Amino acid sequence: MFTATELYQLVKLPLLIDHYFEHKEQKSELTFWTFLKVHYADNIVVDEDHTQDMKLPFKSDDGCINITLTAVISCPLSDLILKPYCSETKTFFTYKESFLPSSFLSTIWQPPKA
């Protein structure tokens, strides 16, 4: 699950949304993706709202370092060669007729006969 530090960062998500809308008022063509790029991927710029930037989730060092890298490598289907795999189906019987539960019931667990 989440650690306490990660949960604390998730609580700060409303600050991220509010800060985005503040930037959106200044630059109407700003997309959310560009906003995230400027605040998280680009170099840190110390400007007039730097203290507010550092209050965003996962922006300040709260003892939590988490790096996730996902790489997707695509290959054309024409390079993919599939070879059919044939399998054999065999049936094995692992019991004998004398070991069926009904055969046990007829021998040992019967009430006494008078």
pLDDT tens for 51-73 read 888 888 888 765 555 566 677 77
Q: Which residues contact 41 (CB under 8 A, 6 or more apart)?
A: none
**pLDDT given at position 93:** 61
Give the per-residue pLDDT at 24.
93
DSSP the chain: ---HHHHHHHHTHHHHHHHHHHHHHH-TT--HHHHHIIIIISPP---TTHHHHTTSTTTS-SS-------------GGG-----------------GGGSHHHHHTTTS-PPP-
Report residues of the chain scoring pLDDT below 70. 1-2, 5, 61-69, 74-82, 92-111, 114
